[in-house]
Every structure is written in C-alpha cells, then in structure tokens.
Amino acid sequence: MRSANGLIPRPSPERPYRLEGTRPGESPHQTLFISCTETQIAPTRFVSRPEQLFELRNIGNIVPPYNPKVVSGAIATIDYALSLTNLRDVVIAGHSGCGAVAALLNQTSNRVSPSLRRWLVVGSSRVACEDAVGTRASGAIGKEALDRAAQAHLLTQLAHLAQYPELESGQNSGRLRLRALFHRAESSTTEVYSPRDDSFKPLAREGSGRRR
C-alpha cells in the first residue's frame, strides 16, 4: 500500500511492518545464500519464499577466511547473517563456466583488472583449482577441467565458511545446516556436495526427501 504521494509509508511504532510468521524484533531471514554475481545462479530459484533469503553475492562466490580484525564487507555480512535468530540454512553456490575461476587460471580473454586479481587471491583457491585441473601449465584447458576447478574453488570457500565461529557453534547445536551447491547452466541442473562421499550429487527436489 502506498501513501498519497506515491511513497511507501513509514512504519509507525504502534504497527511496525513485518512479514507474516515473524514476531516483533525477529528477522524473517531463514537462509543465508552466498553466490556468484552471474545471472545463471539466481538464489531465488532455490527457495519458495524469496523474502526469507539473506543474500551475499560477489564475483567468484568468495568467502574470505574468518578474521575479525580485517575490514571486509563479506566477513561483516556473513557474521551479521549468522547472528539472525531465525536463520536455519547456510548455502554457498558456484556454477559451471565460472569466469572468476577462468581468470584465476589465466583462461579468459577478458581483461583482468588488478583489483579483481587481488580479490581472487582472497579466495585462496588457486592451488586447489590447479590440482583439480591436473596441470599447472599455462595452456588452454577444456570445459570439464574448468568445471572441476570451479568445484574445487567452491569447496575451498565452503571450508572458509565452516571456520566462522557462529556457524561452527550453530552446526554443533543443530540449529544451522551448511550446504554447497553447484549449478550447471548448460543442463539447468544443480548438484549438492556430499561430504560423506566427497562428491557432488543431483539435488533432490523440494519435498522429495528428508532434510539432510
């Protein structure tokens, strides 16, 4: 509902706005979703209620290693989200054909700016990506190898995320669930990482199985 001047009216102290199902002072956000800025990995495709998302998107879906002394928008955003009362799921998502990983491995024809190179270093995944490719040569690599590197990069960020104190305590108490998703744009399919098997498996459709 809009006011006479076309603007959304300010909430009054007597009747503050809130989403259905939340109590005063509570956050509606139930899922922290960390992903790349690529349009193919739109977070809203994975949830039934987009208003429950708390999003962090950056190039390369990078999670800086936890360090409270470092001034970082990503660290601050994750730390804040993990403190939200209703948060239940933490998801980090990567995708096939990742341009950030291609830039990291010098596999792109696009100009890579100094600021982007410094940002990619924050992800600390170059060695893991090179190991996934199976070579540290400077020549061109195939699409499948690049996607393996993108998965290795994703798992490195997952490991960084698991080190955040609030997440670690939330997992230990059973309040929070952590997952890594890998989306393949060419087939419009999504895989979820299984720590038990150390592999990516097809993501079950919502309601088709138990919460894992």
Query: Which element (helix H / strand E) includes 50?
Result: none
Q: For residue 108, is pLDDT > 50?
A: yes
Q: How far is CA 66 from the centre of its chain?
A: 15
pLDDT tens per residue across span 59-94: 999 999 999 999 999 999 999 999 998 999 999 999
Per CATH, is 31-200 categorized as 3.40.1050.10?
yes
* pLDDT at residue 76, as a whole number: 96
Task: Provide the residue ranges of all domains of the chain, joining segments of one domain with +.
Answer: 31-200
Name the residue among 200, 110, 186 with its Cα closest to residue 143.
186
Is 36 flagged in the annotation as binding? yes
Alpha carbon 28 to chain centroid distance?
A: 19
Task: Provide the pLDDT confidence category of residue 211 given band limits of 50, 70 and 90.
Answer: very low
Higher pLDDT, 14 or 184: 184
Q: Which sign does the torsion angle of CA 94, 95, 96, 98 carry?
A: negative
